[in-house]
């Protein structure tokens, strides 16, 4: 992995860490699975895996935060 990708991955993880306390309050979490070609894959963990509000949380908090803090990311996919 090149240093440019490493810098972007670090920025992604910092953005996810900003969101994490809110998810952890409900015994949930999120993790970065993969970054490649300006696209990331993320996975919900804990209670977030089965939460009915998962899509809304993704759209309102996660997608917005990542795209604001890491403009290099153009696409975000949720994987299980």
Share of the chain above pLDDT 90, in %: 72
What is the Cα–Cα distance from 24 to 22, expressed in whole angstroms? 5
How far is C-alpha 32 from the geometric centre of its chain's CA atoms? 6
The predicted pLDDT at position 56 comes to 85
Taking only the tens place, the pLDDT of each residue in 40-63 is 999 999 998 888 888 888 888 899
- The third-level CATH classification (topology) of the domain covering 3-79 is GMP Synthetase; Chain A, domain 3 (3.30.300)
SS3 per-residue string spanning the chain = CCHHHHHHHHHHHHHHHHHHHHHHCCCEEEEEEEEECCEEEEEEEEHHHHCCCHHHHHHHHHHHHHHHHCCCCCEEEEEC
The model's pTM: 0.88
Which pLDDT band, with edges at 50, 70 and 90, does 1 fall under? Answer: low
The predicted pLDDT at position 10 comes to 96
Question: Is the per-residue pLDDT at 79 higher than 70?
Answer: yes
């Amino acid at each position: 992995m090149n240093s440019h990708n490493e810098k972007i991955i670090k920025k992604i993880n910092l953005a996810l860490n900003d969101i994490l306390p809110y998810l952890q309050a409900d015994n949930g979490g999120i993790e970065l699975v993969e970054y490649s070609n300006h696209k990331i894959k993320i996975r919900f963990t804990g209670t977030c895996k089965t939460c009915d509000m998962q899509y809304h949380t993704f759209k309102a908090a996660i997608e917005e935060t990542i795209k604001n803090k890491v403009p290099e990311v153009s696409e975000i996919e949720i994987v299980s």
